[in-house]
Structure 1
Amino acid sequence: MDDVKIGEILEPGSEEQQQRRAERVRAGFWKTVRKAGRSIPFMDEVVAAYYCALDPHTPMRVRGTLLAALAYFVLPFDFIPDFLLGIGFTDDVAVLMAALAAIRSHITPAHREAARKALENRD
């Protein structure tokens, strides 16, 4: 998976695309988090990014980038299908890492606290 493809995946898109992505993310996020489990060592940051993406105070472009990455994460079939044990979330990790690197400064302490509490409650 090269940078061009990741850049294409992370394109914020139109408001309509962002709305569709938000619906997809809300519907499948927690199921995918449970499935990904230990495959993604920075799951706390992914969950904080989820809260950041749904926060109406987050700038629209940042929300769009996060929703694009999270929508890719929740899709059951992507470049490397998630059901392939050991490598299934490799492409998801690359996309999530790129998105987090681009927007990390917009994830607030409140988003991280919400993520910590959500992950504690899911254990």
Structure 2
Amino acid sequence: MDDVKIGEILEPGSEEKQRSREERVRAQFWKTVRKAAKAVPFLDEVIAAYYAALDPATPTRVRGILLASLAYFVLPLDFIPDFIFGLGFTDDAAVLMAALTAIRTHITPAHRAAAKKALDDLDRDPAKR
């Protein structure tokens, strides 16, 4: 994926587009996390980004960037479909890493603590994997 494509994906978009993305992310995020657990090495940061995206205290533009990247992450059919073994989450990881690099300072210790707890809960409960 080139920088132009990633830049297009990460556009925050209108309020309506952000609402739509937030609904999609809320509905599909944890299912996708369970599928991507072994494929995305920085999953703790992705989960922290999820909490930051849903936090009303996070600046609107930052929330928009995060929701755009997380919406791309939860789409099963994107640039490289997620079901392709070994490659499926590589494009998602590139988009997520670009978003995280751009907004890293807006992910708070509280977001990271919530992510750690969520990961611990997933690790303890095999039914949630």
**Where on the TM-score scale, by shorter chain, does this alignment land: which range?**
over 0.9
Alignment TM-score, normalising by the size of structure 2: 0.95
Q: Aligned equivalents of 1:20 and 1:48: distance in 2?
A: 20
1:14 corresponds to which residue?
14
Q: Aligned equivalents of 1:85 and 1:100: distance in 2?
A: 25
Percent identity of the aligned residues? 77
CA apart distance, 1:82: 0.3
- Give the residue type in structure 2 aligned to 1:62: V
Structure 1 runs of 4+ aligned residues shifted over 6 Å read none
- Give the residue type in structure 1 aligned to 2:14: S
Q: Aligned equivalents of 1:50 and 1:37: distance in 2?
A: 15
- Give the residue type in structure 1 aligned to 2:92: D
- Give the residue type in structure 2 aligned to 1:11: E
1:84 corresponds to which residue?
84
CA apart distance, 1:39: 0.3
Structure 2 unaligned blocks of 5 or more: 124-129
1:53 corresponds to which residue?
53
Alignment TM-score, normalising by the size of structure 1: 0.99
Q: Aligned equivalents of 2:19 and 2:29: distance in 1?
A: 15
Q: Deviations over 1:38-88 (max 9, x none)?
A: 100000000000000000000000000000000000001000000001001
Q: Aligned equivalents of 1:36 and 1:117: distance in 2?
A: 18
- Give the residue type in structure 2 aligned to 1:18: Q
1:104 corresponds to which residue?
104
Q: Aligned equivalents of 2:79 and 2:42: distance in 1?
A: 21
Q: Aligned equivalents of 2:48 and 2:37: distance in 1?
A: 15
